[in-house]
Every structure is written in structure tokens, then in C-alpha cells.
């Protein structure tokens, strides 16, 4: 993302950036994916693998009663080979552990990204407010770290206000892009293009 080349708006109205819709929706889908995977693991551990083991035992018991090489023996042996080896207790246990662990991980991740994008970032009356930080008058902004702004739309605003210091992260992916970009432009106005000196007539 490149810095805008046009002068920022002179409006002093509030600029409000709420949680980015794409940021949250993409992460809700990730949470849903983890929950779906947990369902498959639980099904394998409690239903599919035990049923498969039971079927393998039944086929083995029937094969033992038949003469080796008979048509029925061959048919059952082929079915046994398709089912593969029996699942061990470790196999079943792993599926169950993953089935229980993934929903916990999904909830933890959801709480993390909801907290990261909570509330709103607002610039109003020359005061910047953000979740987890005190209101910061623009005059109390110490610096704006713009190293990641062009590539990732991330800037870190360091402040010292009312005896409290901290850093507010402006991220135009986590929060709505247009308002965050407008707030950044208020704090770091784009540099005007250099004006060429007037041409002088040859003597």
C-alpha cells in the first residue's frame, strides 16, 4: 500500500475505525474449520475406528472356520486386506484427544482475535482513542513508526500523556482500512511534492 499523494482532508470531524469485516469473517471460518475437524476426529475415535476393528475381528473369526483358498475364504481375505490393520488404543486415543483439544483451541483463538479487534479506533477533536489505551491528544504523540505502513498498513503510534506512555497500533487490516488510513494521514500528513524553481530566461 502506497502513501496517498493528495493532501488530507481539512475536515476535523471524527474518524472511526471499527473491526475489519474481512479480518473477522476469515477467522470465523478458521474457527469453523477447526470445529469441523474436531467432529471428524471424534467420529473416528468413538465410531468409525471401533466399528472397523469389530469388522476385522468378525472377518478373522469367519476366515478361521473356512478351508484356506476356498472362494469364500478368498473373498473374506480380500475384504480384510482392504480394511487394513486394526487401529490400536493409541490410534483411538489420539483421535479422541484431538477431538477434545481442537474445540478448546478454536474458542481460545476466537477470543484472541475478537479481543485484538475489539472496540474502535477513533480520532476526534485532535484526540486519539483506542481499546486498552487512555485518550491521547495529538500533541502528546511522541512518534509514529511507519516502517511497515507501505507494505502491511501497520503503524505504531507512541505516546506519553498524563504521565502514561504506550504505543497504539494502527492496522488497516484488523480495523477498517479507510478510516485507519485517514487517521494515519492526520497524524503523518503526506509530504507535498517538491516545487520546481521557476525557469529563468537566458541572458
Position 176 confidence tier, pLDDT thresholds 50, 70, 90: very high
Specify the pLDDT at position 195: 57
Specify the pLDDT at position 1: 45
Q: Kindly state the cell numbers that stand for 119.
A: 472496540
Structural domain includes residue 192: no
Position 201 confidence tier, pLDDT thresholds 50, 70, 90: low
CA distances from 159 to 14, 134, 143, 184 (A): 20, 10, 7, 14
Contact 123, 147 (CB under 8 A): no
Give pLDDT tens digits for 53-90: 999 999 989 988 888 888 888 888 888 889 889 999 99
Same domain, 164 and 98: no
Contact 27, 110 (CB under 8 A): yes
The number of folded domains in the chain is: 2
Structural domain includes residue 196: no
Same domain, 148 and 178: yes
Same domain, 53 and 99: yes
Structural domain includes residue 6: no
Same domain, 112 and 124: no
Structural domain includes residue 31: yes
Position 22 confidence tier, pLDDT thresholds 50, 70, 90: very high
Same domain, 104 and 156: no
Structural domain includes residue 12: no
Structural domain includes residue 17: no
Same domain, 105 and 125: no
Q: Point out the domain boundary residue: 88, 116, 144.
A: 116
Within 8-148, residue ranges assigned H as helices are 21-43, 49-64, 71-83, 89-116
Look at residue 157 and tell me whether its pLDDT is greater than 50: yes
Look at residue 128 and tell me whether its pLDDT is greater than 90: yes
Model pTM score:
0.76
Q: Which residues span the domain enclosing 42?
A: 22-116
Q: Give the C-alpha separation, 48 to 42, whole Å.
A: 9
Enumerate residues 6+ apart whose C-beta is below 8 A from 45.
Answer: 92, 93, 94, 95, 96, 99
Specify the pLDDT at position 6: 38
CATH number of the domain residue 152 falls in: 2.30.29
Look at residue 189 and tell me whether its pLDDT is greater than 90: no
Specify the pLDDT at position 12: 58
Same domain, 52 and 110: yes
Q: Which of 9, 13, 23, 14 is nearest to 154 (CA)?
A: 23
CA distances from 94 to 2, 97, 101, 124 (A): 48, 5, 10, 53
Provide the residue count of the chain.
Answer: 203
Amino acid at each position: 500500500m502506497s502513501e496517498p499523494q493528495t493532501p488530507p482532508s481539512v475536515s476535523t470531524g471524527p474518524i472511526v475505525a471499527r473491526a475489519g469485516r474481512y479480518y473477522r469473517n476469515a477467522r470465523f471460518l478458521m474457527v469453523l474449520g477447526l470445529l469441523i475437524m474436531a467432529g471428524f476426529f471424534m467420529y473416528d475415535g468413538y465410531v468409525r475406528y471401533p466399528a472397523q476393528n469389530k469388522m476385522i475381528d468378525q472377518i478373522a473369526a469367519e476366515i478361521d472356520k473356512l478351508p484356506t483358498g476356498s472362494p469364500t475364504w478368498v473373498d473374506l481375505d480380500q475384504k480384510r486386506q482392504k480394511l487394513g490393520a486394526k487401529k490400536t488404543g493409541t490410534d483411538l486415543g489420539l483421535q479422541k484427544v484431538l477431538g477434545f483439544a481442537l474445540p478448546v483451541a478454536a474458542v481460545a483463538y476466537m477470543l484472541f482475535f475478537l479481543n485484538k479487534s475489539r472496540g474502535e479506533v477513533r480520532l476526534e477533536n485532535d484526540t486519539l482513542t483506542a481499546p486498552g489505551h487512555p485518550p491521547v491528544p495529538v500533541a502528546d504523540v511522541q512518534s509514529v513508526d511507519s516502517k511497515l505502513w507501505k507494505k502491511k498498513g501497520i503503524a505504531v503510534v507512541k505516546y506519553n500523556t498524563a504521565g502514561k506512555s504506550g504505543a497504539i497500533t494502527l492496522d488497516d487490516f484488523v480495523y477498517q482500512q479507510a478510516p485507519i488510513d485517514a487517521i494515519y494521514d492526520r497524524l503523518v500528513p503526506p509530504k507535498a511534492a517538491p516545487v520546481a524553481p521557476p525557469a529563468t530566461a537566458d541572458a
